Amino acid sequence: EIVMTQSPATLSVSPGERATLSCRASQSVTSNLAWYQQRPGQAPRLLVYGASTRATGIPARFSGSGSGTEFTLTISSLQSEDFALYSCQQYNDWPWTFGQGTKVEIK
Amino acid sequence: QVQLVESGGGVVQPGRSLRLSCAASGFTFSSYAMHWVRQAPGKGLEWVAVISYDGINKYYRDSVKGRFTISRDNSKNTLFLQVNSLRAEDTALYYCASSYCNSSNCYNFDYWGQGTLITVSS
């Protein structure tokens, strides 16, 4: 199965600062990569699909990039509601697999 | 708006069974593939199983093959997961989630429920 590796595991950022999250696939997933946000006690929410397309209603401060095996989620200016767990997921091959997540915490 | 509401979780002994349900509303359930995804305490998300929009095609992760069965009732907009021979490592919050599939590909999860917790413990 395709192994998804996210880094860092935890990212400490001050409100208003930029956050850059990385996701690496063990083999190419082309652009079949999604990012999800999960606030404590809540279900995951789709942020980005197709590696770079924002889902409906997602603010423009969230942007995704990359293809193949290297992907990035950037949050341009962190708001209080953005402190959460972020997971990448490939849907190129079965079984679909997730990264272990990056926790974005308040610095 | 789209709602997915899971139920059926609980505390069970190893080897026992449960049947999870996911009631869907706010979208055309019968047009979407449906999945179960789980999250063990303090761990990442793990895809478990998928069923095609019409219930014909089903796929499972290896660790649950032969023990879990996914099914759906499109007349009742409901997804199911029959979980048998439960093990301690099946302890997790189980989410149902939707995704769109065409004839050749399935795409990202669109919507998620809030989850139902299975705890396997003696």
pLDDT (tens digit per residue) in A81-92: 999 999 999 999
- Our measurement of the distance from residue A82's CA atom to the centroid of its chain's CA atoms, rounded to an integer in Å, reads 12
Cβ-based neighbour number of residue A107 at 10 Å: 11
Average pLDDT over residues A34-55: 95
CB-CB under 8 Å, A99 with B44? yes
Nearest CA in chain A to B105: A92
Residue for token digits 């789709």? A46
pLDDT band at B103 (very low <50, low <70, confident <90, very high): confident
Indicate whether B101 pLDDT > 90: no
Average pLDDT over residues A52-78: 97
Average pLDDT over residues B18-46: 96
Indicate whether A6 pLDDT > 90: yes
Q: How far is residue B96's CA from residue B38's CA, in Å, rounded to a whole number? A: 9
Q: Considering all CA atoms of chain A, what is the largest pairwise distance in Å, rounded to the nearest integer?
A: 38
**CA angle (A5, A64, B112) in 5-degree steps:** 75
CA contacts within 13 A on the Cβ side of A29? 33
Residue B102 confidence (pLDDT): 82
pLDDT band at B104 (very low <50, low <70, confident <90, very high): confident
Indicate whether B76 pLDDT > 90: yes
Average pLDDT over residues A37-50: 93
pLDDT exceeding 70 applies to what percent of chain B?
100
Indicate whether B58 pLDDT > 90: yes
Indicate whether A15 pLDDT > 90: yes
Is residue A22 within 8 A of residue A11, CB to CB? The reply is no
- Our measurement of the distance from residue B43's CA atom to the centroid of its chain's CA atoms, rounded to an integer in Å, reads 17
- Give the gap in angstroms from C-alpha B96 to the nearest C-alpha of chain A: 10
Indicate whether A64 pLDDT > 90: yes
Chain A residues with CB within 8 Å of chain B CB: 32, 34, 36, 42-46, 49-50, 87, 89, 91, 94-101
Q: Give B84: exposed, middle or buried? Use CB within 10 Å, 0-12, 13-18, 19+.
A: middle
CB-CB under 8 Å, B113 with A95? no
Is residue B101 within 8 A of residue B33, CB to CB? The reply is yes
Is residue A69 within 8 A of residue A28, CB to CB? The reply is yes
CB-CB under 8 Å, A95 with B110? no
- Which residues of chain A are within 8 Å of residue B115 when distances are taken between CB atoms? 43
Residue B105 confidence (pLDDT): 86
Q: How far is residue B121's CA from residue B106's CA, in Å, rounded to a whole number? A: 35
Indicate whether A107 pLDDT > 90: no
Indicate whether A50 pLDDT > 90: yes
Give the C-alpha distances (Å, rounded to integers) separating A87 from A31, A103, B9, B20. Answer: 16, 9, 24, 25
